[in-house]
Structure 1
Amino acid sequence: MSNEIKCRVISKGIEEGEAIVTKDSISFLGGVDPDTGIVIDKKHELYDQCITDKILIIPSGKGSTVGSYVIYQMIKNNTAPKAIICQNAEPIIAIGAIISKIPMVDQPDVDIINLIKSDDLVKVNADEGYIQIQ
């Protein structure tokens, strides 16, 4: 296992799995289908890819506050990501992760967007505030 990358805790929990990484900010309202977990924003780098059961790695979120409830709906539909890592979280995704009990961290002490690649195995420890690339 590699060294720990320190992060700020947003929503507690521990998960590990395959990463899905994007350089594009994501809007859950209108950008992700809560019934399938597929990115439906045609302008998004992850268009037509599924974020279900992945470790979602994004620079930040964007869009309407309703996006928090889209994340919550994804939990109810079993289509949500396992965990979320943001470079810089904003309230929409942070609230969505908290109310959905999805482990989430932000402000890693390295540039994770360029360090971690999609399909890398990643562990998110949002209890102690670190991630590991496995």
Structure 2
Amino acid sequence: MTSRRLDAELILGGAASAPLLVLREPVSFWGGVDDQDGTIIDRNHPQQGTSLAGTALLMDGSRGSSSSSSTFLECVRLGTAPAILLFTERDTILTVAAAAAWEIYGTGPTVLILPEMPDLAGVHTITVDDEGVLHARSDVEETSASGGRT
């Protein structure tokens, strides 16, 4: 297994690890995600039926109503929210909901901002260590320019 460090700014939360889920399009939690099981229910979303629960969710940002924060907060309460939120754009709606979850429930997702959408081909797990450093883990062994393993 290999691990590589990714540039990211830790917004809130702490150490966490979860399977990576990349959304091809943004989703609105208000009417687009079922808070009971964390699945995408928006009939127009290309990943309808995909569960967000317990994932390291990577997307540019969310879509839609500020009411998404209430649905997201309910997902945290029910244990159906993503474990890690990874954004490439600042997302105040879900970040405020995550902060509220930490304040109200004492738990919530770790939130990070990435400077750009990373190439995560082959990556299966995202880990945030105790210092807030983001690592992408894959089963693919990297090779050096000379062809040897690193």
Which bin holds the TM-score, normalised by the shorter protein? 0.7 to 0.9
Question: What are the superposed Cα offsets for residues 62-85 of structure 1, whole Å, 9 maximum, x if unpaired?
Answer: 211111111110011111111110
Q: Which residue pairs with 1:59 in the alignment?
A: 60
Between the aligned residues of both structures, percent identity stands at: 21
Q: Equivalent residue for 1:102?
A: 109
Give the Cα separation in 2 of the matches to 1:78 and 1:91. 21
Q: Is it true that 1:131 corresponds to 2:138 in the alignment?
A: no
The residue that corresponds to 1:11 in the other structure is 12
Deviation beyond 6 Å, 4+ runs, structure 1: none
2:69: which partner in 1? 68
The TM-score, its normalising length taken from structure 1, stands at 0.86
Counterpart pick for 1:120 among 117, 124, 134: 124
- Long gaps (5+) in structure 2: 102-107, 138-150
When normalised by structure 2's length, the TM-score is: 0.78
Do the aligned partners of 1:2 and 1:133 also contact (CA within 8 Å) in 2? yes
Structure 1 residues without counterparts, runs of 5 or longer: none
RMSD of aligned C-alpha atoms?
1.9
Q: Cα offset for 1:43?
A: 1.4
Q: Which has the larger radius of gyration?
A: 2
Which of 97, 114, 117 matches 1:111?
A: 117
Check conservation: 2:123, 2:136, Cα contact below 8 A. Answer: no
How many residues are treated as equivalent by the alignment?
130
